[in-house]
Copies of this chain bind each other. A is one copy, B any other.
Amino acid sequence: MTHSKPFLSDNAAPVHPRLWEAMRAADEPDNPYDGDQLSAQLDARFTALFGRDCAVLWAATGTAANCLALATMCAPHGAVVCHREAHIEVDEGGAPGFFLHGAKLMLAEGEGAKLTPADVAALIDPIRNDVHQVQPHAIAITQASEYGRTYTPAELAALGAFARDRKLGLHMDGARFANAAAFLGGSAEAAARAASGPVDSLAFGFIKNGGMSAEAVVLFDPDRAAEVRYRRKRAGHLQCKGRYLAAQILAMLEDGLWLANAAHANAAAREVAAGCGDRLLHPVEANELFVRLTLVEREALRARGFAFYDWGADSARFVTAWNTRAEDAAALGKAIASL
């Protein structure tokens, strides 16, 4: 299949040249696993980025990053509340059940695949406080959400206060965290700030944003890092040559590449959105577009070289990436507008 004008997904985009350079530069012998000099820099670099003490581990997939973090805040006999369309529920092959030893996902409703305190309360308030019913231990949200929606600082603050009141952990799946942060003005700290401090943990994604194989598990309570390190090894996720993963992440943080890449993708998405009018199913707040398009219309677009996925019977999903060409985005926007 030729992908002349690809809007299929950001998860198959090429690796950014600066990451190739960084990986090649790491091609000197160093200690194996995460004992190398690059991995050793992660804590400090993210602490600087967030303005908060944090401990950071790399992992090769978002699935692993999410589940390793969740496992520290939800016992096997507990549950994690997430949106009915959350990636951890829908697209991770049951990984939470594996990493959390059979803990449940409890599925809340919520507009735009986002959760509000009221959404979570509606789900968990009816749960009897007895051993016959699984009790919630944590909440997992996605920033930006599965529909490309972004939690504002006010929304996060409300959720954070709710989680604290209910003694629930709060995890953020940040597969497209950079896009959310770019939308919110560029502050990583603001995009992960809940109530009086950050969320408990963040799976900070880099792979969809120009990386090859490295996501970051960011733990804002550094004392939890030891447990996650044991769990990571036990899950077969402690790679021998971890320096190549650390190199990717450090290159991403260097000179704000993570933010520039995301801003580029977001801008491309806005360019497409400009042509979509009321076809849009969701406001465009990151790098994904969900667009009402008939089958005939989709075929017409594909005939013009645009590649994308169907989204149900009557819509399509378009995803922009760090490498989306501005002219392709503009062309797609115009093509949709002209349908």
Contact = CB atoms under 8 A, between A and B. Distances in A.
Interface of A: 1, 3, 6, 9, 11-15, 20, 24, 27-32, 36, 59-61, 63-65, 67, 75-77, 79, 90-104, 131-135, 207-208, 212-213, 227, 229-241, 244
A8 to B, nearest CB: 8
Give the 3 A-B residue pairs with the shortest CB-CB distance, closest first.
Answer: A97-B102, A64-B236, A93-B233
B134 A94 contact: yes
Given A230-B131, A237-B60, A94 B90 contact: no
Given A6-B29, A213-B244, 8 more contacts: A77-B227, A94-B104, A95-B236, A97-B97, A98-B234, A102-B102, A131-B229, A213-B213
A127 to B, nearest CB: 10
A103 B93 contact: no
Contact of A101 (B14, B36, B60, B101): B101
A21 B30 CA distance: 22
A228 to B, nearest CB: 10
A255 to B, nearest CB: 22
A93 B134 contact: yes
B60 A213 contact: yes
Nearest to A93: B233
Nearest to A94: B134
A12 B241 contact: yes
A135 B61 contact: no
B15 A27 contact: yes
A233 B61 CA distance: 10
Contacts of A134: 93-94
A131 B93 contact: yes
A159 B213 CA distance: 38
9 contacts: A14-B29, A63-B236, A64-B235, A76-B76, A76-B97, A92-B132, A93-B134, A98-B102, A131-B234
